[in-house]
Amino acid sequence: MSSEQSEAGSIPAEESAIAEEIPITPRLIGTSMTGGLVGMVLMLPLLAGIPIVLDVFRTEPILEFASFATIVGLEPSLIAGMALFGLGGTLFLPVQFLVVGAFLPPDSPRFLRGVSFALIYWIGFMLAFWPGGSLLAIGLFILVSFLSHVMYGLSLGYLTDRWAEIPQHAV
């Protein structure tokens, strides 16, 4: 590559392989789902454990979320809500990440795109599970849910990029 090409803004040789389209394969889907499962395992002790220990954990938002279980004929329950939450983070969000991850910041390191992805969902999580109550409960909720989603995104992005690659789509 000549110096003229790099000054003109062409893609460096190291990134040219990444810039090629990376297909979404069953192996890649399985890898991202594994990253999602590890992320869920890492985030749940922080997301639920600290609020339970401090006695500010509320089950009402989980029960409201569990109303999605009626789509498949199940009654909303705490177990159904937790199962839906776990399935979403393990099965559905990782597949969405494979589709949109190529379009998220930052360019480098690529695994941090998982954090960008998770923080988009953190906003929805905050709206869906807002605790109300005391300033301590609200502050704790914001901090713990933020850190939990960062951990999830790091896991999803790092493991997907390490064991496979975050797909790059031709647009």
More confident residue, 92 or 134: 92
Residue type, 38: V
Summarised one tens digit per residue, pLDDT across range 49-77 is 887 787 777 777 787 778 877 887 888 88
* Cα 18 from Cα 6, distance rounded (Å): 17
Per-residue pLDDT, 128 = 84
Summarised one tens digit per residue, pLDDT across range 144-155 is 999 999 999 999
Summarised one tens digit per residue, pLDDT across range 116-137 is 999 999 999 998 888 777 888 8
* Cα 95 from Cα 34, distance rounded (Å): 11
Query: How does the average pLDDT of the chain come out, rounded?
Result: 83
Per-residue pLDDT, 169 = 65
Residue-by-residue DSSP string for the chain? --HHHHHTTPPPHHHHHHHS-----HHHHHHHHHHHHHHHHHHHIIIIIHHHHTT---SHHHHHHGGGGGGGTPPP-HHHHHHHHHHIIIIIHHHHHHHHGGGSSPSSSGGGHHHHHHHHHHHHHHHHH---S-HHHHHHHHHHHHHHHHHHHHHHHHHHHHHS-------
pLDDT at residue 89 is higher than 90: yes
Q: What are the sequence ranges of the domains in the chain?
A: 24-163
pLDDT at residue 31 is higher than 90: yes
Q: Which two tokens stand for residue 19?
A: 């810039």
Per-residue pLDDT, 104 = 93
